[in-house]
Amino acid sequence: MDNNNFYNWEEPGKDENTQPDNVPVETGKPIYTERVKKKGHALKYISFALVGAVLGSLLSTGILLGFGKTHPGGQPQVSYYSNEAADENNASTISNKGRTKLADEDVAEKVGPAVVGIINSANFFQQDVEQGSGSGIIINADGYIVTNNHVIENASSLKVILNNSEEYAAKVIGTDPQTDLAVLKIEAGKELPYATFGDSADLKAGETAIAIGNPLGTEFAGTVTKGVISALNRSVTVEGKQLTLIQTDAAINPGNSGGALVNSYGEVIGINTVKISSGDVEGLGFAIPINEAKPIIQDLMEDGYVKGRPVIGLSGREMTQEMARTYGYVTGVYVVEVTPFSGAERAGIKSGDVITKVEDQEVKTVEDINNIRDSHQVGDKLKFEIDRRGQKLTVEVELGEDKPTTSQ
């Protein structure tokens, strides 16, 4: 799946034969939301993931999952800590029952051995060259590891470095660029220490938060920093993706992507993912809540991709009023390319069309269309209203299932 394939809007190679001559070359790019600005200073969201000379910063949205066994069918079984019996008004009391808060050093001792370094290497001129490094978390004794997709993407080989400095080659089990998650596996020939995780729904602002990872690469492996849960349910848009994250002031730096955000019980409650970088801003780091990760990781472990995610089958970009006036189009979402054999192609949508409405809702951006699509399921049919150089058309697009184009 393409690195820029946000929410299943595929970004295939540009076909110059289907691009109208009077549309700018950059129409093949996805739409990115502007960086946050405040008082004239740009606040940039920076991923923590790869520390390296070749890859630039990429979006870091990681998640940690629990731990598990291999069930008779051969698939890894993931177990979750949960508080299903907890009353919402008394969740903290019930969820803490039977557990004991640990000293900070005990939290580090408990979780630290399950946090690993990941080295991403790419093949250049028949040689593997290190692109960068990130963090990951062992989630069961059999060697399954959760990390961020951007930590491992474009790799020709992956190496995992354990807490005790042992090194192993890693195999990719499944990836999901949309949530920036990936599951790896190493064959250590022995049972490995693994992390447990808590319930991010029980978190409250002001609680202790401890970050464990490899800032600035393996030289500082196993770094532990402490802060608090600063806020919950923060809506952050990074490189076109809108994420709902945990905010923390625990120090997080490049190389921490895929590392653990842990509570006082030694349970992982999030994955350190992104920070705001500015000369006058400190302590604004973010992590993806663990509860949002559970179904994604389970699908990756079992199937190598996220099941049941709908896809339309085209790439597009915003056609602003200024562009529309300049190039003689209407405002909406300009179709850059249509994926062969997709629902969009079967419906007759073509490159150069401008989508103006979906399900009778006006659309101006790719995100508008994605939001409508994500409220439906595979097999649903959506009404698209398009403008084809002045000709108004209405077509029906059946949503397909987004699957990897190649096997893992």
Q: Catalytic residue numbers?
A: 150, 180, 257
Structure tokens at 351: 């490159």
CA angle centred on 362, ends 359 and 366, rounded to 5°: 90
Q: Provide the 10 A C-beta neighbour count for residue 139.
A: 28
Q: Decide if 136 contacts 64 (C-beta within 8 A).
A: no
CB burial class (10 A; 0-12, 13-18, 19+) of residue 72? Answer: exposed
State the Cα–Cα distance between residues 399 and 401, nearest whole angstrom.
Answer: 7
245 phi, psi to nearest 5 deg = -125, 165
Residue 30, strand partner residues: none
Name the region of 45 (left: φ>0; alpha: ψ -120 to 50; beta: rest).
beta
Q: Which residues contact 343 (CB under 8 A, 6 or more apart)?
A: 311, 312, 313, 397, 398, 399, 400
Residue 152, strand partner residues: none
* Residue 165 DSSP symbol: S
Which residue, chain included where needed, has tokens 């780091």?
A: 285
* Residue 91 DSSP symbol: H
State the Cα–Cα distance between residues 28 and 322, nearest whole angstrom.
Answer: 18
Closest CA to 106 of 192, 210, 36, 186: 210
State the Cα–Cα distance between residues 107 and 212, nearest whole angstrom.
Answer: 10
State the Cα–Cα distance between residues 329 and 356, nearest whole angstrom.
Answer: 11
Pairing of strands 310-311, 76-79: unpaired
Closest CA to 142 of 118, 106, 173, 182: 173
Q: Which residues contact 367 (CB under 8 A, 6 or more apart)?
A: 7, 31, 33, 240, 242
